A and B are shown apart, each in its own frame.
Chain A
Amino acid sequence: MRLDLFNTTAFRLSVGYTLLVTLAVAVTLGSAYLLTESLITDEVDLIIDTELKSLQEKFARSGVPGVTDEINLRIDSWGRIGAVYMLADANYERIAGNVTHWPFDGMPTEAWPEFEIATIEPGRRAVHPVRAAVRTLPDGDLLLVGTDISQGRRFAEKFRVATLWGIGLSTLAAALAGFWFSYRLARRVGAVTRTCQQILAGELGRRLPVAGSKDEFDALAASVNRVLDRLEDQAGTLRATFDSTAHDLRAPLQRLRARMDALLLRSPALEPQVHESIESALREVDHLQRTLATLLQIALAESGAPLAAPAAVDVGALAAELVELFEPVAATGGLAIDCRQEGAAVVQGNRQLLAQLITNLIENGLKYVPAGGRIEVAVRRLTDGVRLTVSDNGPGIAAADRARATQPFMRFATGGQGEGSGLGLSLVAAIARLHRGRLALESNEPGLKVVLDLPG
């Protein structure tokens, strides 16, 4: 399984982290911008307000001529810093000041109206934004004072661009850091996942990679590796125990067989009756050997040791071959057997064990389904694996007994002819478990339906 970077916790975390960084930087820089802008405006407003107040006092003291003089005086000394003055009558006609005509359409409604003044400076025409305030003098004349705010505007504009760049760059930096972080994390976790899958697939000697950085990943890998060491050790001991048990049980059987074989080959030939007894005893030895082999196989599978050297097995093709193999025997017993399978249905497993599993299920049917019945083997692909179904219309297994049916030496009253070892379904269950499959016994209404889902 390939690790999808965009589907990792680390990736999701870093996306969240990036958003958080963006938000924090935006709030910080944005409020600094707004604060600075309002500071600049407040200062301008204070200057305008002060000017208006002093001119209003002048009017109170010396009327329109006094204000006109004062304005003319201030234009001269304040002109260079961009101060704007205008005294107009009630009809907005200019009385004094450095603005040629009333810049508004009547009386402005807002407290701090803004307008633009075109000036001709040496060599170029310029348009200056002006922020102003208007007061009505007691005699109905209008007094306008404003300030060129192009400097402040330029400053605010620069600040705004800097803010946007700041937000953009820090988002980019956070995203890059997050991406790198999640990539590194995904790679390390991915390596662990891959190793675990290899171990599950039977490569018991594999260990988790230790980067040598002595971080929490290394600590985790080291602990898991110690667990794996112990598991491998136990698997080895178990294997050795199985081997010696198998050897100790089979060697005497071999000697027994050899002696009986020798008797049968002896000349002069034995009496027919003795010959027949020995042949019957030989069949018992074979039966014993098969039971022993099955028990060892079940025990090995149940021990939790993983499947050795799994390979691709087409369960569909295998089922079809086995059904073909059993067809003549089934026909002899008056049973119909068929296989339904569509295209390749490949799983990772052991062909011999899976063949044994299907064989056991078919033989189970042959044993219990009365003449005239049918056995159906079906294989189909699931989205994440393969489903094998073996069903018959025989007596089936009572619902209460189904759970116990896969336990060793379990036989049921229904229809059995006393043959068999009672291990068939246990071996099926053991092989299914060894392949990490899910086995279910169901009613086929009537009959038995065995469903095995194998991971693909």
Chain B
Amino acid sequence: MHVLLIEDDTEAARFLLKGLRESGYTVEHVADGRDGLFRATEGRFDLIVTDRMLPHVDGLAIIERMRAAGIGTPVLVLSALGSVDDRIRGLKAGGDDYLTKPFAFAELAARIEALLRRPNAPHTTRLKVEDLEFDLLSRRVTRGGRELELTARELKLLEFLMRRAGQVVTRTMLLEGVWDLHFDPQSNLIDVHISRLRQAIDRGTEHPLIHTVRGSGYVLRSENS
């Protein structure tokens, strides 16, 4: 997987490069907007990670020109501007995801993975992980053939996890994806919701499907895979 990193803060870039390379990505780094735009429009990357404020050409301008040139490579915007409307502007400009500095590397890694794996059969009507089945049309969930009683919100949460089966999803990704909330509440809200979902899905089974990833978030996957 080829990743283009456009970041003018050399120290931040050094850590990101190291982390991404250790995660198995092939990363190319440029430090200003003009070079970034040039490399991005060559269009041979699987993903672009760009800072928002860059010398010469702004991060959002890079995305706009890329999109105008018909290049659909997913873009993750890193920004030191964290207000709600900055985020909206970033996504409107054509960014696929937006991460406010400072962020944990695990958060970035999870989001990059999510962007690279997308789209995961968006039009499917049935999700299946091991013996857990989710019929998206009737909104019915069965585990080992036994039907589970879930609330509307639990169904949404489970769908989000199942669509990303095998991928780590962070708490903020869940808040954004399931509740459409783009800020961090102080309480451990997500943990409590996950633990309820776990109760419903995994209780009394030999093979739990929802796993906690320390320092990152959660992953739904089968043991054998």
Contact = CB atoms under 8 A, between A and B. Distances in A.
B185 A359 contact: yes
Contact of A366 (B15, B100, B187, B196): B187
A353 interface: yes
Contact of A352 (B16, B101, B102, B183): B183
Contacts of B153: 324-325
A326 B103 CA distance: 24
A355 B22 CA distance: 38
Nearest to A356: B183
Contact of A251 (B9, B22, B185, B186): B9
A262 B19 contact: yes
A285 B102 CA distance: 9
A309 B183 contact: no
Given A251-B12, A296-B82, A258 B105 contact: yes
A411 interface: no
Given A251-B12, A328-B193, A359-B185, A265 B102 contact: no
Nearest to B22: A265
B16 to A, nearest CB: 7
B80 A363 contact: no
- Interface residue tally on B, bucketed by range: 35 or more
A230 B19 CA distance: 47
Contacts of B193: 325, 328
Contacts of B103: 254, 257
Interface string A314-342: 00000001001110110010000000000
Contacts of A300: 83
B102 A257 contact: yes
A418 B179 CA distance: 29
Contacts of B15: 255, 258-259, 261-262
Interface string A245-261: 01100110111111101
A40 interface: no
B188 interface: yes
Interface string B53-93: 10000000000000000000000000011111101100000
B189 interface: yes
Interface string B1-16: 0000000010110011
Contacts of A329: 187-189, 192
10 contacts: A246-B81, A247-B53, A254-B101, A255-B11, A261-B104, A279-B215, A321-B179, A329-B192, A332-B192, A420-B186
Nearest 9 Cβ contacts at the A-B interface = A258-B15, A250-B80, A328-B192, A254-B102, A254-B101, A247-B80, A308-B85, A253-B102, A257-B102
Interface of B: 9, 11-12, 15-16, 18-19, 22, 53, 80-85, 87-88, 100-106, 153, 179-189, 192-193, 196, 215
